[in-house]
Amino acid sequence: MSLIAHGPHTVKIWVEEETVDSRGNPVRRPSDTPVEVKGCIVHPIASTRGAFPAIDVREGQRVDASWRLLARDAPVGWWSRVEFDGKVMVPLSGPLRYTASDGTTHVSCTLREER
């Protein structure tokens, strides 16, 4: 049994969509309704502290965390939004689609917590 196909986590993904802004320009954004993706893996990969000032001075230094999403298939794009365990995240890199073989086909995306 592959963890890529049967992971322990469920995420909500607001799929990337294209719309037109008030000036008639095409723009990309997360959709209004999420899609639930089951059987994936989400794990932390890095965190930074103090590299950027906090939005509110009472918060002190801001802490940013990066996460990796691995799924057999997930409709994640550059302008998507992902929710996992109460955290809302946006793609930091990827999404990358690996298609070397049927058994290892998966989507990988690095996410950053949205603050």
What pTM does this model have? 0.80
Residue with token string 């009472």: 58
Q: What is the pLDDT of residue 56?
A: 57
Q: What is the pLDDT of residue 115?
A: 66
Asked whether the beta carbons of 11 and 42 are under 8 A apart, the reply is: yes
Residue with token string 């950027």: 52
pLDDT tens digits for range 82-115: 999 999 999 988 788 998 888 888 999 999 887 6
Closest CA to 79 of 21, 8, 27, 11: 27
The DSSP letter of residue 2 is: -
Instruction: Give the number of residues written for the chain.
Output: 115
CATH fold, domain 9-113, is: Thrombin, subunit H (2.40.10)
